[in-house]
Amino acid sequence: DGSGVQAFRSRLNEGTPKMRLPKGASYRFIWSEEGRALLSTKNTSLDTVLDELATQFFTGYIRITVERADVLEDGYLLLSFGKLVGAEYVGRETLVGALGLDASRRAWEGEGIVDLYEFNETQLRFALEENSAALLVSMDEITEGIEAGRAGKQEFDQRVEAEEEATREAKRRVEE
Check residue 85 and give its pLDDT: 95
Contact between 110 and 67 under an 8 Å Cβ cutoff? The reply is: yes
What is the spatial order of strands in the sheet that 71-80 belongs to?
A: 25-26, 112-118, 60-68, 71-80, 83-90, 94-96
Residues 6 or more apart whose CB falls under 8 angstroms from that of 6 comprise none
Check residue 31 and give its pLDDT: 44
Long-range CB contacts (< 8 A, 24+ apart) of 22-26? Answer: 22/119, 22/123, 22/126, 22/127, 23/117, 24/60, 24/61, 24/117, 24/118, 24/119, 24/123, 25/60, 25/117, 25/118, 26/115, 26/116, 26/117, 26/118
What would you report as the CA-atom Rg of the chain, rounded to the nearest whole angstrom?
18
Q: Give residue 100's region: left, alpha or beta (phi > 0; psi -120 to 50).
A: alpha
Check residue 28 and give its pLDDT: 60
Task: Please tell me the distance from the alpha carbon of residue 78 to that of residue 76, in angstroms, as a whole number.
Answer: 6
Give mean pLDDT in consecutive 10-residue pieces for the chain, a chain of 176 residues: 48 52 66 49 84 90 86 92 94 92 91 86 90 90 83 84 88 86
